[in-house]
A and B are shown apart, each in its own frame.
Chain A
Amino acid sequence: MAPVTRLNDVLEAVQRARQNAPNFCTNFFPVEPVLRLWIQQGDLSARSEAGCAFFLRRDRDFFHFYFAAPEAAALGRGLAALNDIHSEPVVVDLIGRPESWQPLAAVFAGCRFRPYRRLVRLARAAKPLPPLIPRDTPPPPVVWPDEAESGRVLELIEQFFDRYSDQLPTLDQVRAAVAAHQILAVKVGGELAALLFYETQGLTSLLRYWLVARPHESRGFSSALLREYLGSQTSVRRFLLWVAAQNERAMGKYLQYGYAADGLEDEIMVNERITA
């Protein structure tokens, strides 16, 4: 893989893979500003093989793997030629409906990758909240964290979420979200006890992380955060989130608030360098 230095090199490599390819497949969906940032930070490298474009992006102590391939068989041939990627821990997200990601998962399984986790996307149309269940001790008020607490916010996210599957933010992204008031918190004794991190763009809002620190579970903090979030986004028409398919507890809570699977899944696979 060679470092990417120009945005157009990426777009042209993807275009070569797409050319006259009715069965084109990809897991590469970056928006342009994000792509520019990856290139500027030197995080992105690329290589072409078997008519496919392949990309690696550094994230903490591992790499995300992306591809753009004319069809699944070419993807398999290209992957077979990329032996050097197995010297590093590599994660690949196969995003789509099951009928589109399953054939690609079979290709990766034949190239030294194994299933790691599956996320499902849940969507919720704007609608009234379910009735609030009164508690003997109401939770503390929902507040915005201070900028100085950005590091602690990231610490909690890293503690509760999986770096391979949950697209964890950088400290700069957390700082930006704090400044934009896109993180809600409940504090106990001045310390962050629960968090909800979201991104709203126009009519759509994505809930990214929602957590309650362990000593503070079952005190209504999570409901308080979710109600504040859903209730405050008055212009949003579509609420989205990704949740681990096997996380029945979280799934139950989301269903209770009107979320439902919209059919999109993220099959996450890892290579042998990741043993967790």
Chain B
Amino acid sequence: MKRLPELLREIRPEFDFTTSKDFIADGMLDSFDLMTLVATLDKTYGISIQGTDIVPENFKNLETIENLLRQCGVTA
């Protein structure tokens, strides 16, 4: 869980993900970035995020992504 900001910085190094409440509305992640992020999270945490969970609400900010990871069985 601690590595999430680092993973996001690897995808979009020009943004500070700790300051935004909505990565998508703030233009920090686009749809290509989302797919990259999903693949990165799957690989890093050994999970498979469901297609039905790949919706903007789950990728708004660090908190919502952490919630999604918890639902997928990732523990802090």
**A24 and B39: CB pair below 8 A?**
yes
**A125 and B14: CB pair below 8 A?**
yes
**B52 and A8: CB pair below 8 A?**
yes
**A200 and B52: CB pair below 8 A?**
no
Interface presence of B75 (CB below 8 A): no
Choose from B27, B39, B43, B52 the contact partner of A12 (Cβ within 8 Å): B52
Least Cβ distance of B68 to chain A in Å? 14
Choose from B27, B35, B39, B51 the contact partner of A204 (Cβ within 8 Å): B27
Query: Complex formed: what's the CA distance from A198 to B39 in Å?
Result: 29
Interface presence of A95 (CB below 8 A): yes
Task: Identify whether the interface residues of A are mostly helix, strand, loop, or mixed.
Answer: mixed
**B48 and A201: CB pair below 8 A?**
no
The winner among B25, B43, B52, B56 for most chain A CB atoms within 10 A is B52
The winner among A26, A29, A31, A204 for most chain B CB atoms within 10 A is A204
CB neighbours (8 Å) of B14 from chain A are 125, 237-238
CB neighbours (8 Å) of B43 from chain A are 22
Interface presence of A188 (CB below 8 A): no
Query: Complex formed: what's the CA distance from A26 to B34 in Å?
Result: 13
CB neighbours (8 Å) of A264 from chain B are 32
**B15 and A26: CB pair below 8 A?**
no
**A204 and B48: CB pair below 8 A?**
no
**B28 and A204: CB pair below 8 A?**
yes
Query: Complex formed: what's the CA distance from A238 to B25 in Å?
Result: 14
Given A11-B51, A20-B48, A95-B32, A31:B56 Cβ within 8 A: yes
Seed contacts A18-B50, A200-B27, A238-B15; 11 additional CB < 8 Å A-B pairs:
A11-B55, A12-B51, A15-B52, A17-B51, A24-B39, A29-B35, A31-B31, A31-B56, A125-B14, A205-B27, A238-B14
